[in-house]
Chains A and B, each alone.
Chain A
Amino acid sequence: MSFLSSRKLVLLFVIILMAGALLISCAPAEEEVVEPEPDPVEEEGPREGGKVVWARRDAPTTLDPMKHGEAAANQINALMGGNLVALDSWEGEYVPLHAEEWDVSEDGTVFTFYLRDDIKWHTGRQLTAHDYVYTYDRAFDPDTGAVQTLGFLEDVVDYEALDDFTFQVTLEEPSAVFLASAATAYTKPVDKEYIEEVGDDDYARNPSGVGAWKFDHWVTGESVTLVRNEDFAWAEPWFENQGPPYIEELQFRYFPEEATLLAALEAGEVDIASLPAHAVDRFEEHDDFEVAVNLQMGMGRWFMPNMEREIWQDERVRHAVAHALDRDFFIETSLEGRAVPAYGPMSPPMMMYNEKVEDLAPRYNPEKAEQLLDDAGWVMGDDGVREKDGEEFEILLLTRTEELQMRDAEIAQGLLEEIGIKVEIESFERALHTEKVRDGEHDLSIGQYWWSSGDPDVLYFFFHSSQSPGGLNSFHLKDPRVDELLENQRTAVDPDERAEYVHEVQELLVEEQFAFFVYITEEYSAIHNRIQDWMVTPAGGIQLNDAWIDE
């Protein structure tokens, strides 16, 4: 091949190519300074119309609220219709939504909801207590396969419509957590007539509800489009606008690739998207966007030791690991400082968070960590790995094949290496990872969980012995003290009493270091500044009922 002899040309071309790559990749940093728009505070008030595009990375597979466990579907389901009550996450309390008010019987087992009489389905029919009965029937029908929904209705023993607008639920035992079940979109009412007319499968593809937004169309894997419900007049109490949304069309678009999603945001194809930490600066400096921030609701990043393992039985070893995991280093390295340290199992905005854990939790102190390991009999070997009774301190850390988890696992690997613990990382897809963790193949695993209701009962699912194996208790923790406290908080109807148990269990988990708490994520969303008057809840939900488009 004779072209190979033109050496200069080859060189020239390669140089041009590299220069091109450099140019393309560094150019975004030097954006032209655009003249700031004249202040858009024209006292005109909300205008109707316009379209908002909201981007996510995960796409829904079904819109039947009873047949999934997906955040992407749940978000849309919530917009298409609320439930009996709503969670006001600013105040941390449940407020009326479909139910104007409700009673709880003295023994705490019977909930009676009095419904509004002006709520209409998207089909025009009126919403009544019988729809709730149908909804619960459908959830309890084994043919539906409503696993997630049933999880919320576990304690329900009976339910009935006392009249058209009174719905009563009886529970097996007093529950402090049932209102959370009456607020989630997983148990929201479903339209009997409509489902019977179109069938289950079509309902999942073309759902109807009672919410501010009506389903319009769905391009599988690419987008779901909603339009405003003209008849809507029953918004959550925190909205100024109780009627139909001002915005005409709300489209969700799905981008599996983060880099592509950010490019679409930057190119103006998308109006709302949550931002990874590394992109926050870029959009804070961007003239077209506002960036909203909130603290993650739920359980922050933690490392979960498999408590069935011999190595973790020694409390000193657990504390040593806790002293070695430098929270600031994680936050700085993994999230560019966009997080706060976590000292206990719950994030501060959750209900009944106990500030005392902040004093109890071990801080970064590698000397102390080494001291504790020495005391526990793990002596430093020649190869920098500690040994005890001829065995090396080598642990298997399982992660999912998810970028942030793998990155944090790498950081932990580096930090633990410093105190002589060798960490092997293995990553698996979600399903396989769940199975391996359930079977206890790990020494350490890593997690972070979102729990938008902010109710502390979620701890039950992670730390109660009944949740292992097979549940979320991947610590395989079986501690009677923890169990007792978690059970008590479930049945304590008096909120103050319940708070005591919840506070105590947090302290116990931290004192024992049954888990290593690292950070709580600050969550960022970019919102295009043509959208006015949006709000964001403490749990990070962007609320659009008051929002309008200024163009």
Chain B
Amino acid sequence: MPVTEQQGAKEDQPALDLWSLRKRQFLRKPVAVVATGFVGFMILIAIFAPYVAPHSYTTMFRGERLRAPGSEFLLGTDNLGRCILSRLIYGARISLSVGLISVGIACSFGVVLGLSAGYFEGMLDNVIMRIMDIMLAFPAILLAMVIIAILGPSLYNLMIAVGVASIPSYTRLIRGTTLSAKENAFVEASRAVGAKTPTILFKHILPNIVAPIIVMATLGVAGAILSAAALSFIGLGAPPPTPEWGAMLSASRNFIGRAWWMFTFPGIAITSVVLAINICGDALRDILDPKLTNR
């Protein structure tokens, strides 16, 4: 597919730079555009939650428990009489930040460790990668469970646990791409003209490995939201009244037969946002790095 796209670009406008090309590729994927739009929309909602939400997310309306969706409460109320729509809107903040921050943690550690391991190789590489092997020997959610058991359940600890648990996969990926980027002619060239190590690392290597990192991070946000939901389910998530989507979903599981809206809307919120992020990630992968295989 990349072949045809490049040909197309040549015919139209030979002077197009790489990014405009990528943009054009992106715009040719309507589902990806819609998905990106949706994610952007959710981010806006998260930022402007207090202005968008019809009610406070903590207010328990007396005598309004388990109201079905209607004109006053668009998505109904939960078992405590709180507006589900408002909770979902504020919850977008929480769930998206859980995704972003934990991926941020994983990514920053991953970049530092992976770059050093890949670039310097030798002893350092060995030490870092053996530690990563050890961390990888814990399935991620178990590691997160133990971390939360030690730190206690809170929103921040949730982010830390999910983030730390995925450091090894980022480190591995970045080390691999660094190794191959290092072999590129321009790195050799800049080394030959006497460029300093930091210059080479940050000016030449990092920009070249940024594409797979972006792809992995995008998919990682989706994964982190799901992990957080799973941890909430076993009682290790954010404490109430935090309207984290996973927590809302697990709280609703006992009302499944009576209040479908409690169970359905948070489920749809999680699934649709994760779905949209996954579609964006897939599209980014196709565009940025057609060779990168699915993890």
Q: Do chains A and B touch in the complex (CB under 8 A)?
A: yes
| Residues on A facing B (Cβ under 8 Å) | 1, 4-5, 7, 10, 14, 17-18, 21-22, 25-26, 28-29, 257-259, 262, 276, 278-279, 281-282, 329, 332-334, 336, 401, 403, 406-407, 409-411, 413-414, 417, 425-429, 432
Contact of B60 among A257, A276, A333, A429 (CB under 8 A): A333
What per-residue 1/0 map shows which CB atoms of B64-84 lie under 8 Å from chain A? 010000000000000111000
A279 and B254 contacting across the interface, CB-CB below 8 Å: yes
Q: How far is the CB of A366 from chain B (nearest CB, A)?
A: 13
In the bound complex, residues from chain B placing their C-beta under 8 Å from that of A410 are 58, 80, 240-241
CB-CB under 8 A from B282, the residues of chain A are 1, 4
Contact mask for chain B residues 84-128; partner A; CB cutoff 8 A; 1 contact, 0 none: 000000000000000000000000000000000000000000000
Query: B199 contacts which chain A residues (CB < 8 A)?
Result: none
B29: contacting residue among A5, A18, A329, A425, CB under 8 A = A5
A-B complex: 9 closest residue pairs judged by Cβ atoms: A28-B257, A25-B260, A4-B31, A26-B260, A259-B253, A427-B239, A401-B235, A410-B240, A410-B241
Query: Nearest CB to that of B237 among chain A residues?
Result: A401
Q: Which residues of B contact A (CB under 8 A)?
A: 29-32, 34, 58-60, 62-63, 65, 79-81, 149, 152-154, 235, 239-241, 251, 253-258, 260, 263-264, 267-268, 271-272, 279, 282-283, 286
Q: Can you list 5 contacts pairing A with B, beta carbon distance less than 8 Å?
A: A4-B32, A276-B254, A403-B251, A427-B153, A432-B152
Residue pair A406, B240 in contact (C-beta under 8 Å): yes
Beyond A22-B264, A25-B257, A258-B254, is A413–B241 a contact (Cβ under 8 Å)?
A: yes
Shortest Cβ distance from A373 into chain B, in angstroms?
21
Q: How far is the CB of A67 from chain B (nearest CB, A)?
A: 25
Residues of A close to B256: CB separation below 8 A: 25, 28, 259
Other A-B contacts than A279-B254, A334-B80, 18 sampled, CB-CB below 8 A, are A1-B282, A4-B31, A10-B31, A21-B260, A21-B264, A22-B260, A25-B263, A25-B264, A257-B253, A258-B253, A282-B257, A329-B62, A333-B81, A403-B251, A410-B241, A413-B241, A426-B154, A428-B152
- Given A282-B257, A409-B240, A425-B239, residue A4 in contact with residue B283 (CB < 8 A): yes
Whose C-beta in chain B lies nearest to the C-beta of A259? B253
Complex-state Cα separation, A403 to B255, whole angstroms: 13
* Residue of B whose beta carbon sits closest to that of A25: B260
Min CB distance A9 to B, Å, is 10
Given contacts A4-B283, A26-B260, A410-B240, contact A333 B254 (CB under 8 A): no
Distance between Cα atoms of A26 and B66 in the complex (Å): 13
Cα-based distance from A332 to B64 in the complex (angstroms): 10
Residue pair B59, A414 in contact (C-beta under 8 Å): yes
Q: Are A278 and B254 in contact (CB under 8 A)?
A: yes
In the assembled complex, the Cα of A329 lies from the Cα of B34 at a distance in Å of: 44
| B contact residues around A429 at 8 Å (CB) | 149
